[in-house]
Amino acid sequence: MEYISTRGSAPTLDFEGATLAGLASDGGLYLPRKWPRFSAAEIRDLRGCEYWEVAVAVMKPFVGKSLTEAELIEICQQVYGKEFSHAAVTPLVQLDGQHWLLELFHGPTLAFKDVALQMLGRLFDTFLKRRDERLTIVGATSGDTGSAAIRGVAGSERVEIFMLHPQGKVSDVQRRQMTTVRAPNVHNLAIDGSFDDAQAHVKRMFGDADVTGTLNLGAVNSINWARLMAQVVYYFYSALQLGGPDRKIAYSVPTGNFGDVFAGYVASRMGLPIETLVVATNINDILRRAINEGDYSAGGVTPTITPSMDIQVSSNFERLLFDAGGRDGAAIAQQMHGFEKAKTMALTNAQRVGMKDLFRSFRADQDQTARAMQWAHAASGQIIDPHTAVGLSAAQDMVADDSIDPTVPIVTLATAHPAKFPDAVERAVGVRPALPQRVGDLFGREEHFTELSGDYEAARDFVLQNASAD
Protein backbone atom coordinates (compact mmCIF):
# COMPACT_ATOMS: atom_id res chain seq x y z
CA MET A 1 0.00 0.00 0.00
CA GLU A 2 1.39 3.39 -1.00
CA TYR A 3 0.66 6.63 0.83
CA ILE A 4 0.52 10.01 -0.89
CA SER A 5 0.24 13.52 0.49
CA THR A 6 -2.88 15.67 0.05
CA ARG A 7 -0.58 18.45 -1.18
CA GLY A 8 1.01 16.37 -3.91
CA SER A 9 4.72 17.04 -3.50
CA ALA A 10 5.95 14.94 -0.56
CA PRO A 11 7.58 11.57 -1.20
CA THR A 12 5.32 8.56 -1.50
CA LEU A 13 5.75 6.29 1.55
CA ASP A 14 4.71 2.85 2.71
CA PHE A 15 2.63 2.36 5.87
CA GLU A 16 5.67 2.26 8.15
CA GLY A 17 7.05 5.46 6.62
CA ALA A 18 3.70 7.28 6.81
CA THR A 19 3.18 6.21 10.45
CA LEU A 20 6.59 7.50 11.51
CA ALA A 21 6.40 10.67 9.39
CA GLY A 22 3.08 11.93 10.84
CA LEU A 23 2.72 15.08 8.76
CA ALA A 24 3.96 15.01 5.15
CA SER A 25 7.01 17.16 4.33
CA ASP A 26 4.92 19.43 2.04
CA GLY A 27 2.60 20.23 4.97
CA GLY A 28 -0.09 17.85 3.68
CA LEU A 29 -1.60 14.71 5.20
CA TYR A 30 -0.88 11.18 4.08
CA LEU A 31 -3.61 8.88 2.83
CA PRO A 32 -3.66 5.71 0.71
CA ARG A 33 -3.13 6.10 -3.03
CA LYS A 34 -6.19 3.87 -3.55
CA TRP A 35 -8.94 2.79 -1.16
CA PRO A 36 -9.06 -0.97 -0.58
CA ARG A 37 -12.56 -2.32 -1.42
CA PHE A 38 -14.44 -5.08 0.41
CA SER A 39 -17.31 -6.87 -1.31
CA ALA A 40 -20.56 -7.45 0.59
CA ALA A 41 -19.60 -11.15 0.83
CA GLU A 42 -16.22 -10.29 2.36
CA ILE A 43 -17.91 -8.03 4.93
CA ARG A 44 -20.51 -10.72 5.71
CA ASP A 45 -17.66 -13.15 6.42
CA LEU A 46 -16.72 -10.97 9.42
CA ARG A 47 -20.06 -11.59 11.16
CA GLY A 48 -19.57 -13.13 14.58
CA CYS A 49 -15.87 -12.23 14.67
CA GLU A 50 -14.31 -10.71 17.75
CA TYR A 51 -13.24 -7.07 17.66
CA TRP A 52 -9.54 -7.90 17.22
CA GLU A 53 -10.36 -10.16 14.27
CA VAL A 54 -12.34 -7.43 12.51
CA ALA A 55 -9.45 -5.08 13.26
CA VAL A 56 -6.96 -7.39 11.56
CA ALA A 57 -9.19 -7.80 8.49
CA VAL A 58 -9.86 -4.07 8.10
CA MET A 59 -6.29 -2.94 8.75
CA LYS A 60 -4.45 -5.59 6.73
CA PRO A 61 -4.78 -3.91 3.31
CA PHE A 62 -3.64 -0.56 4.79
CA VAL A 63 -0.64 -2.04 6.56
CA GLY A 64 0.58 -3.85 3.44
CA LYS A 65 4.04 -5.35 3.88
CA SER A 66 4.99 -3.10 6.80
CA LEU A 67 3.89 -5.78 9.28
CA THR A 68 3.63 -9.54 8.87
CA GLU A 69 0.18 -10.96 9.48
CA ALA A 70 1.53 -12.51 12.70
CA GLU A 71 2.77 -9.09 13.91
CA LEU A 72 -0.55 -7.43 13.10
CA ILE A 73 -2.49 -10.18 14.87
CA GLU A 74 -0.26 -9.93 17.94
CA ILE A 75 -0.69 -6.15 18.20
CA CYS A 76 -4.47 -6.35 17.72
CA GLN A 77 -4.81 -9.13 20.28
CA GLN A 78 -2.73 -7.21 22.82
CA VAL A 79 -4.62 -3.94 22.34
CA TYR A 80 -8.20 -5.11 21.84
CA GLY A 81 -7.89 -8.21 24.01
CA LYS A 82 -6.27 -6.57 27.04
CA GLU A 83 -6.59 -2.78 27.14
CA PHE A 84 -10.40 -2.41 27.15
CA SER A 85 -12.68 -3.03 30.11
CA HIS A 86 -15.63 -4.27 28.02
CA ALA A 87 -15.50 -7.66 26.29
CA ALA A 88 -17.05 -6.16 23.15
CA VAL A 89 -14.41 -3.36 23.18
CA THR A 90 -16.90 -0.90 21.60
CA PRO A 91 -20.38 -2.08 22.65
CA LEU A 92 -23.65 -0.82 21.15
CA VAL A 93 -26.46 0.38 23.44
CA GLN A 94 -30.00 0.94 22.20
CA LEU A 95 -31.75 4.17 23.19
CA ASP A 96 -35.06 3.75 21.33
CA GLY A 97 -36.39 2.23 18.10
CA GLN A 98 -34.01 4.19 15.88
CA HIS A 99 -31.22 5.58 18.07
CA TRP A 100 -28.16 3.67 19.24
CA LEU A 101 -24.97 4.64 21.05
CA LEU A 102 -21.61 3.18 20.10
CA GLU A 103 -19.62 3.33 23.34
CA LEU A 104 -16.03 4.11 22.49
CA PHE A 105 -14.85 4.95 25.99
CA HIS A 106 -13.99 1.61 27.56
CA GLY A 107 -10.23 2.07 27.11
CA PRO A 108 -7.73 3.11 29.79
CA THR A 109 -8.23 6.88 29.43
CA LEU A 110 -12.01 6.86 28.88
CA ALA A 111 -12.34 8.34 25.38
CA PHE A 112 -12.47 7.06 21.81
CA LYS A 113 -8.84 8.08 21.31
CA ASP A 114 -7.71 4.90 23.11
CA VAL A 115 -8.98 2.74 20.26
CA ALA A 116 -6.23 4.06 17.99
CA LEU A 117 -3.62 5.44 20.36
CA GLN A 118 -2.98 2.27 22.35
CA MET A 119 -2.28 0.65 18.97
CA LEU A 120 -0.14 3.52 17.69
CA GLY A 121 2.25 3.23 20.65
CA ARG A 122 2.87 -0.41 19.74
CA LEU A 123 3.32 0.42 16.05
CA PHE A 124 5.94 3.04 16.94
CA ASP A 125 7.84 0.57 19.10
CA THR A 126 7.79 -2.13 16.43
CA PHE A 127 8.97 0.16 13.62
CA LEU A 128 11.54 2.08 15.70
CA LYS A 129 13.09 -1.11 17.05
CA ARG A 130 13.37 -2.47 13.52
CA ARG A 131 15.15 0.72 12.40
CA ASP A 132 17.03 1.22 15.66
CA GLU A 133 15.73 4.81 15.80
CA ARG A 134 14.09 7.14 18.32
CA LEU A 135 11.13 9.48 17.82
CA THR A 136 10.24 12.81 19.41
CA ILE A 137 6.49 13.26 19.39
CA VAL A 138 4.94 16.70 19.45
CA GLY A 139 1.20 16.69 19.94
CA ALA A 140 -1.70 19.06 20.58
CA THR A 141 -4.73 18.20 22.65
CA SER A 142 -8.04 19.71 23.60
CA GLY A 143 -8.16 17.11 26.35
CA ASP A 144 -8.50 13.52 25.21
CA THR A 145 -5.75 12.81 22.68
CA GLY A 146 -3.18 13.91 25.26
CA SER A 147 -3.91 11.34 27.93
CA ALA A 148 -4.48 8.48 25.47
CA ALA A 149 -1.22 9.24 23.64
CA ILE A 150 0.74 9.57 26.88
CA ARG A 151 -0.70 6.25 28.09
CA GLY A 152 0.22 4.72 24.72
CA VAL A 153 3.90 5.70 24.88
CA ALA A 154 4.73 6.27 28.58
CA GLY A 155 7.75 4.18 29.47
CA SER A 156 8.73 3.57 25.84
CA GLU A 157 12.51 3.62 25.47
CA ARG A 158 12.39 4.91 21.91
CA VAL A 159 9.72 7.61 22.13
CA GLU A 160 9.68 10.94 23.95
CA ILE A 161 6.44 12.97 23.97
CA PHE A 162 5.75 16.72 24.29
CA MET A 163 2.02 17.35 24.63
CA LEU A 164 0.62 20.89 24.32
CA HIS A 165 -2.78 21.67 25.85
CA PRO A 166 -4.62 25.00 26.10
CA GLN A 167 -4.25 26.10 29.71
CA GLY A 168 -7.54 26.23 31.63
CA LYS A 169 -9.53 24.93 28.68
CA VAL A 170 -9.66 21.21 29.41
CA SER A 171 -11.62 19.54 32.23
CA ASP A 172 -9.89 18.77 35.55
CA VAL A 173 -10.14 15.05 34.87
CA GLN A 174 -8.67 15.44 31.39
CA ARG A 175 -5.78 17.59 32.67
CA ARG A 176 -4.98 15.27 35.55
CA GLN A 177 -5.03 12.23 33.26
CA MET A 178 -2.07 13.84 31.49
CA THR A 179 -0.23 15.71 34.18
CA THR A 180 -0.18 13.03 36.88
CA VAL A 181 1.71 10.58 34.68
CA ARG A 182 5.29 10.43 35.94
CA ALA A 183 7.58 9.11 33.24
CA PRO A 184 10.92 10.52 32.08
CA ASN A 185 9.79 10.52 28.44
CA VAL A 186 6.59 12.57 29.06
CA HIS A 187 6.42 16.40 29.00
CA ASN A 188 3.15 18.30 29.46
CA LEU A 189 3.04 21.92 28.26
CA ALA A 190 0.13 24.21 29.15
CA ILE A 191 0.07 27.04 26.62
CA ASP A 192 -1.68 30.36 26.93
CA GLY A 193 -3.91 29.97 23.87
CA SER A 194 -6.49 27.74 22.20
CA PHE A 195 -6.29 24.20 20.87
CA ASP A 196 -6.03 25.71 17.38
CA ASP A 197 -2.89 27.60 18.50
CA ALA A 198 -1.39 24.40 19.91
CA GLN A 199 -2.18 22.47 16.73
CA ALA A 200 -0.69 25.25 14.57
CA HIS A 201 2.52 25.17 16.67
CA VAL A 202 2.79 21.42 16.22
CA LYS A 203 2.36 21.62 12.44
CA ARG A 204 4.85 24.48 12.26
CA MET A 205 7.50 22.42 14.04
CA PHE A 206 7.29 19.83 11.27
CA GLY A 207 8.33 22.54 8.80
CA ASP A 208 10.96 24.18 11.05
CA ALA A 209 14.48 23.18 9.99
CA ASP A 210 15.86 23.99 13.47
CA VAL A 211 13.60 21.28 14.86
CA THR A 212 13.69 18.71 12.07
CA GLY A 213 17.47 19.19 11.74
CA THR A 214 18.00 17.87 15.28
CA LEU A 215 14.98 15.73 16.08
CA ASN A 216 13.21 12.85 14.38
CA LEU A 217 9.67 14.27 14.78
CA GLY A 218 6.55 12.15 14.98
CA ALA A 219 2.81 12.81 15.43
CA VAL A 220 0.06 11.25 17.52
CA ASN A 221 -2.73 13.56 16.41
CA SER A 222 -5.10 12.41 13.71
CA ILE A 223 -2.83 13.99 11.11
CA ASN A 224 -1.14 10.59 11.51
CA TRP A 225 -2.85 8.18 9.09
CA ALA A 226 -2.49 5.19 11.46
CA ARG A 227 -4.87 6.93 13.89
CA LEU A 228 -7.67 7.00 11.35
CA MET A 229 -7.01 3.49 10.10
CA ALA A 230 -7.64 2.09 13.58
CA GLN A 231 -10.84 4.14 13.92
CA VAL A 232 -12.31 2.71 10.67
CA VAL A 233 -12.63 -0.65 12.44
CA TYR A 234 -15.51 0.29 14.76
CA TYR A 235 -17.70 1.40 11.88
CA PHE A 236 -17.39 -2.11 10.40
CA TYR A 237 -17.76 -3.82 13.77
CA SER A 238 -20.92 -1.89 14.73
CA ALA A 239 -22.53 -2.13 11.28
CA LEU A 240 -22.10 -5.93 11.34
CA GLN A 241 -24.07 -6.11 14.58
CA LEU A 242 -26.94 -4.08 13.15
CA GLY A 243 -27.43 -6.08 9.96
CA GLY A 244 -24.70 -4.64 7.77
CA PRO A 245 -23.72 -4.98 5.01
CA ASP A 246 -27.31 -5.99 4.10
CA ARG A 247 -28.74 -2.93 5.79
CA LYS A 248 -27.60 0.69 5.63
CA ILE A 249 -26.66 2.46 8.85
CA ALA A 250 -26.38 6.19 9.61
CA TYR A 251 -23.75 7.53 12.01
CA SER A 252 -23.81 10.77 13.95
CA VAL A 253 -20.30 11.83 14.91
CA PRO A 254 -19.43 14.59 17.40
CA THR A 255 -16.76 16.40 15.45
CA GLY A 256 -13.76 18.63 16.11
CA ASN A 257 -10.66 17.77 14.11
CA PHE A 258 -12.75 15.72 11.61
CA GLY A 259 -10.76 12.53 12.27
CA ASP A 260 -13.51 10.31 13.61
CA VAL A 261 -16.00 11.19 10.91
CA PHE A 262 -13.34 10.90 8.19
CA ALA A 263 -12.77 7.33 9.41
CA GLY A 264 -16.48 6.75 8.68
CA TYR A 265 -15.99 8.18 5.21
CA VAL A 266 -13.10 5.75 4.67
CA ALA A 267 -15.32 2.84 5.78
CA SER A 268 -17.88 3.93 3.19
CA ARG A 269 -15.21 4.20 0.47
CA MET A 270 -14.13 0.65 1.39
CA GLY A 271 -17.61 -0.66 0.63
CA LEU A 272 -19.45 -0.50 3.97
CA PRO A 273 -23.03 0.63 3.20
CA ILE A 274 -23.41 3.88 5.16
CA GLU A 275 -26.59 5.87 4.59
CA THR A 276 -25.44 9.16 6.12
CA LEU A 277 -22.60 10.60 8.15
CA VAL A 278 -23.84 13.39 10.39
CA VAL A 279 -21.14 15.92 11.22
CA ALA A 280 -22.27 17.10 14.66
CA THR A 281 -20.68 20.32 15.91
CA ASN A 282 -21.02 22.56 18.93
CA ILE A 283 -21.34 26.33 18.36
CA ASN A 284 -17.79 26.39 16.99
CA ASP A 285 -19.36 25.23 13.76
CA ILE A 286 -16.96 25.91 10.91
CA LEU A 287 -17.56 22.36 9.64
CA ARG A 288 -21.34 22.77 9.58
CA ARG A 289 -20.95 25.95 7.53
CA ALA A 290 -18.48 24.27 5.21
CA ILE A 291 -20.69 21.25 4.57
CA ASN A 292 -24.01 23.07 4.32
CA GLU A 293 -22.87 26.31 2.67
CA GLY A 294 -19.41 25.67 1.23
CA ASP A 295 -17.96 28.36 3.51
CA TYR A 296 -14.86 27.29 5.49
CA SER A 297 -14.11 30.43 7.53
CA ALA A 298 -12.52 30.23 10.96
CA GLY A 299 -13.60 32.73 13.60
CA GLY A 300 -12.50 32.88 17.24
CA VAL A 301 -13.19 29.86 19.41
CA THR A 302 -15.97 30.17 22.00
CA PRO A 303 -15.49 27.96 25.09
CA THR A 304 -18.33 25.45 25.58
CA ILE A 305 -19.27 22.51 27.80
CA THR A 306 -17.75 20.34 25.06
CA PRO A 307 -14.16 21.60 25.31
CA SER A 308 -12.67 18.77 23.27
CA MET A 309 -14.61 20.05 20.26
CA ASP A 310 -13.71 23.72 20.70
CA ILE A 311 -11.83 23.66 17.44
CA GLN A 312 -12.05 25.90 14.38
CA VAL A 313 -9.32 24.53 12.14
CA SER A 314 -10.03 20.84 11.51
CA SER A 315 -6.96 19.04 10.24
CA ASN A 316 -8.67 16.13 8.55
CA PHE A 317 -11.07 18.22 6.52
CA GLU A 318 -8.14 18.61 4.13
CA ARG A 319 -8.25 14.85 3.51
CA LEU A 320 -11.92 15.08 2.57
CA LEU A 321 -11.40 18.10 0.33
CA PHE A 322 -8.64 16.19 -1.45
CA ASP A 323 -10.50 12.92 -1.90
CA ALA A 324 -14.04 14.19 -2.53
CA GLY A 325 -12.78 16.97 -4.79
CA GLY A 326 -10.89 14.77 -7.27
CA ARG A 327 -7.45 14.28 -5.64
CA ASP A 328 -5.64 17.27 -7.14
CA GLY A 329 -2.66 17.79 -4.79
CA ALA A 330 -1.42 21.03 -6.37
CA ALA A 331 -4.87 22.59 -6.12
CA ILE A 332 -5.23 21.52 -2.47
CA ALA A 333 -1.81 22.99 -1.65
CA GLN A 334 -2.92 26.31 -3.13
CA GLN A 335 -6.31 26.19 -1.40
CA MET A 336 -4.79 25.36 2.01
CA HIS A 337 -2.03 27.98 1.74
CA GLY A 338 -4.75 30.51 0.96
CA PHE A 339 -6.69 29.40 4.04
CA GLU A 340 -3.59 29.54 6.25
CA LYS A 341 -3.17 33.22 5.30
CA ALA A 342 -6.79 34.43 5.13
CA LYS A 343 -8.47 31.98 7.58
CA THR A 344 -11.26 31.65 5.07
CA MET A 345 -11.85 29.67 1.91
CA ALA A 346 -14.71 28.63 -0.33
CA LEU A 347 -15.14 24.97 -1.25
CA THR A 348 -14.99 24.21 -4.96
CA ASN A 349 -18.05 22.91 -6.75
CA ALA A 350 -16.39 19.51 -7.18
CA GLN A 351 -15.70 19.31 -3.43
CA ARG A 352 -19.29 20.19 -2.57
CA VAL A 353 -20.70 17.69 -5.05
CA GLY A 354 -18.27 15.01 -3.81
CA MET A 355 -19.52 15.28 -0.22
CA LYS A 356 -23.20 16.08 -0.82
CA ASP A 357 -24.71 12.58 -0.83
CA LEU A 358 -23.06 11.16 2.26
CA PHE A 359 -22.73 14.09 4.68
CA ARG A 360 -25.29 16.10 6.67
CA SER A 361 -24.40 18.57 9.39
CA PHE A 362 -26.19 19.99 12.43
CA ARG A 363 -24.95 21.94 15.42
CA ALA A 364 -26.00 21.93 19.06
CA ASP A 365 -25.75 24.86 21.43
CA GLN A 366 -25.41 24.35 25.19
CA ASP A 367 -29.18 24.09 25.81
CA GLN A 368 -29.62 21.54 23.04
CA THR A 369 -26.64 19.62 24.38
CA ALA A 370 -28.14 19.55 27.87
CA ARG A 371 -31.55 18.52 26.47
CA ALA A 372 -29.98 15.57 24.64
CA MET A 373 -28.32 14.44 27.89
CA GLN A 374 -31.70 14.72 29.64
CA TRP A 375 -33.48 12.80 26.87
CA ALA A 376 -30.99 9.91 26.96
CA HIS A 377 -31.36 9.73 30.73
CA ALA A 378 -35.16 9.85 30.66
CA ALA A 379 -35.61 7.54 27.64
CA SER A 380 -33.25 4.77 28.66
CA GLY A 381 -31.45 5.65 31.89
CA GLN A 382 -28.20 6.37 30.01
CA ILE A 383 -25.87 9.03 31.37
CA ILE A 384 -23.95 10.42 28.43
CA ASP A 385 -21.13 12.92 28.20
CA PRO A 386 -21.74 16.33 26.59
CA HIS A 387 -19.75 15.52 23.42
CA THR A 388 -21.86 12.43 22.85
CA ALA A 389 -24.91 14.63 23.50
CA VAL A 390 -23.91 16.96 20.65
CA GLY A 391 -23.93 13.89 18.40
CA LEU A 392 -27.28 12.71 19.73
CA SER A 393 -28.82 16.16 19.34
CA ALA A 394 -27.70 16.24 15.69
CA ALA A 395 -29.10 12.74 15.14
CA GLN A 396 -32.44 13.89 16.53
CA ASP A 397 -32.35 16.99 14.31
CA MET A 398 -31.92 14.76 11.29
CA VAL A 399 -34.98 12.72 12.30
CA ALA A 400 -37.00 15.88 12.98
CA ASP A 401 -35.97 17.15 9.56
CA ASP A 402 -37.68 14.07 8.05
CA SER A 403 -34.56 13.43 6.05
CA ILE A 404 -33.91 9.86 7.10
CA ASP A 405 -35.92 6.69 6.54
CA PRO A 406 -37.28 5.66 9.99
CA THR A 407 -36.10 2.08 9.47
CA VAL A 408 -32.43 3.13 9.20
CA PRO A 409 -30.64 2.77 12.56
CA ILE A 410 -28.77 5.91 13.61
CA VAL A 411 -25.67 5.23 15.65
CA THR A 412 -24.29 8.14 17.67
CA LEU A 413 -20.64 7.74 18.54
CA ALA A 414 -20.28 8.00 22.33
CA THR A 415 -16.82 9.51 22.32
CA ALA A 416 -16.09 10.00 26.02
CA HIS A 417 -17.08 8.62 29.42
CA PRO A 418 -19.40 11.02 31.28
CA ALA A 419 -17.05 11.07 34.29
CA LYS A 420 -14.58 13.12 32.27
CA PHE A 421 -17.05 16.04 32.40
CA PRO A 422 -18.84 15.57 35.74
CA ASP A 423 -19.89 19.22 36.21
CA ALA A 424 -21.72 19.53 32.89
CA VAL A 425 -23.36 16.13 33.34
CA GLU A 426 -24.50 16.90 36.88
CA ARG A 427 -25.94 20.25 35.81
CA ALA A 428 -27.94 18.59 33.03
CA VAL A 429 -29.23 15.42 34.66
CA GLY A 430 -28.65 15.90 38.39
CA VAL A 431 -26.34 12.89 38.70
CA ARG A 432 -22.57 13.14 39.22
CA PRO A 433 -20.93 10.29 37.31
CA ALA A 434 -18.19 8.48 39.23
CA LEU A 435 -14.79 7.80 37.74
CA PRO A 436 -14.32 4.11 36.93
CA GLN A 437 -11.91 2.35 39.27
CA ARG A 438 -9.46 1.60 36.48
CA VAL A 439 -8.46 5.27 36.39
CA GLY A 440 -7.12 5.00 39.93
CA ASP A 441 -6.63 7.81 42.41
CA LEU A 442 -6.49 10.65 39.90
CA PHE A 443 -7.15 13.42 42.39
CA GLY A 444 -4.63 12.15 44.93
CA ARG A 445 -1.63 12.29 42.60
CA GLU A 446 0.76 15.19 42.07
CA GLU A 447 0.55 17.14 38.80
CA HIS A 448 3.57 18.07 36.67
CA PHE A 449 3.39 20.49 33.77
CA THR A 450 5.15 23.54 32.40
CA GLU A 451 3.28 26.76 31.67
CA LEU A 452 4.27 28.56 28.48
CA SER A 453 3.16 31.71 26.68
CA GLY A 454 1.12 31.22 23.53
CA ASP A 455 4.09 32.03 21.26
CA TYR A 456 5.34 29.46 18.82
CA GLU A 457 8.96 30.17 19.81
CA ALA A 458 8.25 29.34 23.47
CA ALA A 459 6.94 25.89 22.56
CA ARG A 460 9.64 25.21 19.99
CA ASP A 461 12.48 26.29 22.30
CA PHE A 462 11.12 24.18 25.14
CA VAL A 463 11.07 21.11 22.91
CA LEU A 464 14.58 21.79 21.57
CA GLN A 465 16.04 22.38 25.03
CA ASN A 466 14.39 19.42 26.73
CA ALA A 467 14.36 16.67 24.14
CA SER A 468 16.96 13.98 24.52
CA ALA A 469 18.66 14.14 21.13
CA ASP A 470 17.50 11.49 18.64
Catalytic residue among 113, 169, 203, 248: 113
Which span (80-88, 258-266, 403-411, 433-441) binds ligand PLP, by CB under 6 A? 258-266
Among 255, 268, 281, 284, binds ligand PLP (CB under 6 A): 255
Q: Residue 452: count other Cβ atoms within 10 Å of its Cβ.
A: 19
Element (H, E) at 254: strand 249-254
Distance between CA atoms of residues 262 and 328, nearest Å: 18
Distances (CA, A) of 247 to 46, 390, 402, 446: 15, 25, 19, 50
Find which of ligand LJ64HWYM, ligand PLP, none residue 221 binds, CB within 5 to 8 Å per kind.
ligand LJ64HWYM
Element (H, E) at 317: helix 317-324
Does 259 help bind ligand LJ64HWYM (rule: CB under 6 A)?
yes
Distance between CA atoms of residues 303 and 319, nearest Å: 26
The site map against ligand LJ64HWYM for 293-332 (x = CB under 6 A) is: ---------------x------x-----------------
Residues 78-117 contacting ligand PLP, CB under 6 A = 111
Q: Which residues contact 340 (CB under 8 A, 6 or more apart)?
A: none
The site map against ligand PLP for 291-330 (x = CB under 6 A) is: -----------------xx---------------------
Is residue 291 within 8 Å of residue 355, measured between CB atoms? yes
Is residue 149 within 8 Å of residue 256, measured between CB atoms? no
Is residue 445 within 8 Å of residue 390, measured between CB atoms? no
Does 387 help bind ligand PLP (rule: CB under 6 A)?
yes
Does 144 help bind ligand LJ64HWYM (rule: CB under 6 A)?
yes
Find which of ligand PLP, ligand LJ64HWYM, none residue 141 binds, CB within 5 to 8 Å per kind.
ligand LJ64HWYM
One DSSP character per residue, 267-281 reads HHHTT--EEEEEEEE
Helix axes 113-131, 225-241, angle to 10 degrees: 130
Among 109, 221, 238, 412, binds ligand LJ64HWYM (CB under 6 A): 221
Does 256 help bind ligand LJ64HWYM (rule: CB under 6 A)?
yes
113 given a catalytic annotation: yes
Active-site positions read 113
Binding site for ligand LJ64HWYM (CB under 6 A): 141-146, 221-222, 256-257, 259, 308, 315
Using CB under 6 A as the criterion, which residues of the chain lie in contact with ligand PLP when the complex forms? 111, 143-144, 222, 254-261, 308-309, 387, 415-416
